[in-house]
Amino acid sequence: MSAGPPPQNHPPPPWEVVLLVSHHLDPKTLAVASCVCKSWCASMSSDNLWKPVCASHFPSLSALQSTHPALPYRRLYALGLAAARCRARAPAKPHLSLDDLTFVVDVWSQDLHITTMSKPGDEIAPDPNRLFRFELVADEERLSAMEIMDHVRITWIVALRGWKAVFTMMECEGKASFIPGAEGWFSQELPSPECCSSATASGLVADLKLGFGSRNVTGGRIKVERVSVGILSMSRWRYASMEDGLRYLQNFLA
């Protein structure tokens, strides 16, 4: 009795092949495969496929699924990828420049006006490290003498060229020991660009220092010779870059 023909091993259908190798596909290939048809979309969007992918690339987002079970892992991966691309994208160059600005600093002692120092940006020497930090040196004829006191009121305003807009960087009162050669340091947290209310924090601080003359003048009085101003980042506690400072200001001035 002759044996029948050997059994033929039929290859599995293409969709089964895809399912067999789907666990080895990268996220981009999985996303492309899910666009083939409805059945592939359902198969390639399975949490079984996307859970290890999401856990590998964005472990912090992967943990959200335990508290929000309705969120599929494919969606969580997409959210993480979009956030990563935003972080990697270089911020747009500010369209403001230092030359567009004028810095005005007023110093009062109670009801006595001590000095006003106003400097257009094109007269201010940029910081060599491209930081938003400047020193405003008073013209000799504008030097104002003040008594050695411990209470002053400070206002720092930045104005757009032609006084088209103004933004108050600092308006505060404070105490300091003003002696020849010393510095009076003041700071105030800046509002968020999304809101002009100071109740909404930006993570930035307006920083201002008064520099006094190195010698006593007649009557036991000293002079405000210079004012140093800048924007500090609270998270890094260093001065913001020139671009970041200008980018912040254009939210209020431009």
CATH of the domain at 51: 1.20.1280
Mark whether 150 and 84 lie in a shared domain: no
pLDDT for the residue 3: 55
pLDDT for the residue 206: 95
188 domain-assigned: yes
93 domain-assigned: no
Looking at 36, 60, 88, the residue that finishes a domain is 88
How far apart CA 210 and CA 197 sit, in angstroms, is 26
How far apart CA 117 and CA 144 sit, in angstroms, is 10
42 domain-assigned: yes
Torsion of Cα atoms, 47 then 49 then 55 then 60, to 10°: -30
Mark whether 173 and 54 lie in a shared domain: no
Q: In angstroms, what is the C-alpha Rg of the chain?
A: 32
Domain of residue 33 covers 14-88
Mark whether 124 and 237 lie in a shared domain: yes
Mark whether 74 and 181 lie in a shared domain: no
pLDDT for the residue 151: 80
Mark whether 37 and 114 lie in a shared domain: no
The number of helix segments (H) and strand segments (E) in the chain equals 7, 10
pLDDT for the residue 146: 64
Looking at 65, 88, 111, the residue that finishes a domain is 88
Mark whether 117 and 237 lie in a shared domain: yes
Number of compact structural domains in the chain: 2
2 domain-assigned: no
Mark whether 119 and 223 lie in a shared domain: yes
Mark whether 229 and 249 lie in a shared domain: yes
9 domain-assigned: no
pLDDT for the residue 178: 58
Mark whether 208 and 108 lie in a shared domain: yes
HSE (CB half, 13 Å, CA atoms) of 133? 14
Mark whether 161 and 68 lie in a shared domain: no
* Residue stretches of the chain with pLDDT short of 70: 1-21, 90, 140-150, 176-183, 194-201, 213-222
pLDDT for the residue 20: 64
Mark whether 38 and 140 lie in a shared domain: no
Mark whether 82 and 106 lie in a shared domain: no
6 domain-assigned: no
Q: Which strand (E) or helix (H) includes residue 227?
A: strand 221-233
